[in-house]
Structure 1
Amino acid sequence: MKLSSTQLSTLCQYAITAAKKGGGIIHEYAGKKVKVGKKIAADSLASQVVTAVDIKAQNSILETLAPTIREYQLALLSEESPDNNSRFLKDYFWCIDPMDGTLAFTEQTPGYAVSIALVAKSGEPQLGVVFDPLTQNLYHAVKDQGAFLNQHPWQPDLQLTNKNTFTLHIDRTFLQYKHFNLFVDELKTVLKKYNISKLNIQKHAGAVLNAIWVLEQAPGCYFKLPKATPGGGSLWDFAATACIFNEVGAVAKSFDDSLLDLNRKDSSFMNHRGVMYSSNQEIATLIRQFKSLARKNKSF
Structure 2
Amino acid sequence: MDLTQTKKLAEIEAITRSVGWGAANILRSYYRGEVNQGNLAINEDKKDGPVTAADIAANHYILTKLQAVFDTDTFGYLSEETHQGTDPIAKDWVWIIDPLDGTRDFIDKTGEYALHIALAYQGRPVVAVVAIPEAEKLYFASKGHGTFVETPDGTVNQISVSDRNQVENLCLVVSRTHRDDRFQALIEALPLKDRLYMGSVGGKIATILEKTSDVYISLSGKSAAKDWDFAAPELILTEAGGKFTHFNGDPLTYNRGDVRQWGGLLASNGHCHELLCQQSLDILAKIDGKASK
Q: TM-score, normalised by structure 2?
A: 0.84
- Which of 270, 287, 293 aligns to 2:284? It is 293
Matched with 2:66 is: 65
Aligned length: 279
Matched with 2:200 is: 206
Matched with 2:264 is: 274
Matched with 2:137 is: 137
Q: Residue type of the partner of 1:280? A: G
The 8 Å contact of residues 170 and 223 in structure 1, kept in 2 or not, is answered as yes
Matched with 1:20 is: 21
The answer to whether residue 172 in structure 2 is matched with residue 159 in structure 1 is no
Q: Distance in 2 between matches of 1:297 and 1:259?
A: 27
The answer to whether residue 80 in structure 2 is matched with residue 88 in structure 1 is no
Q: Distance in 1 between matches of 2:80 and 2:124?
A: 19
Task: Identify unmatched segments of 5+ residues in structure 1.
Answer: 42-46, 192-197
Q: Distance in 1 between matches of 2:52 and 2:290?
A: 32
Correspondence list, 1:95-244, <5 A: 95-121=96-122, 123-150=123-150, 152-161=156-165, 166-173=170-177, 175-178=179-182, 180-181=184-185, 183-184=187-188, 186-187=189-190, 190-191=191-192, 198-202=193-197, 204-227=198-221, 229=222, 231-244=223-236
Q: Residue type of the partner of 1:221? A: V
Q: Distance in 2 between matches of 1:251 and 1:283?
A: 7
Matched with 1:195 is: none
Offset at residue 264 of structure 1 (A): 2.1
Q: Residue type of the partner of 2:164? A: L
Offset at residue 293 of structure 1 (A): 2.6
Q: Distance in 2 between matches of 1:86 and 1:6?
A: 32
The 8 Å contact of residues 26 and 133 in structure 1, kept in 2 or not, is answered as yes
Q: Look up the SS of the partner of 2:71 in the other structure.
A: helix
Task: Identify unmatched segments of 5+ residues in structure 2.
Answer: none
Relative to structure 1, the CA distance from residue 274 to residue 155 in structure 2 (aligned partners, 3 Å threshold; closer, same or farther) is: same
Offset at residue 285 of structure 1 (A): 2.0
Q: Distance in 2 between matches of 1:297 and 1:100?
A: 34
Q: Residue type of the partner of 1:67? A: A
The 8 Å contact of residues 207 and 233 in structure 1, kept in 2 or not, is answered as no
Matched with 1:44 is: none
Q: Look up the SS of the partner of 1:88 in the other structure.
A: coil
The answer to whether residue 30 in structure 2 is matched with residue 29 in structure 1 is yes
Q: CA offsets, 1:109-132, max 9 Å, x none?
A: 0221111000012x1111100111
Q: CA offsets, 1:121-150, max 9 Å, x none?
A: 2x1111100111101101000011211111
Q: Look up the SS of the partner of 1:222 in the other structure.
A: strand
RMSD, aligned CA: 2.9
Offset at residue 39 of structure 1 (A): 4.8
Offset at residue 155 of structure 1 (A): 3.3
Q: Distance in 1 between matches of 2:174 and 2:183?
A: 14
Q: Which moved more, 1:13-22 or 1:1-10?
A: 1-10
Offset at residue 287 of structure 1 (A): 4.7
Offset at residue 12 of structure 1 (A): 1.3
Q: Distance in 1 between matches of 2:100 and 2:134?
A: 12
Q: Residue type of the partner of 1:56? A: A
Q: CA offsets, 1:83-103, max 9 Å, x none?
A: 367853111011111010111
The 8 Å contact of residues 226 and 255 in structure 1, kept in 2 or not, is answered as no
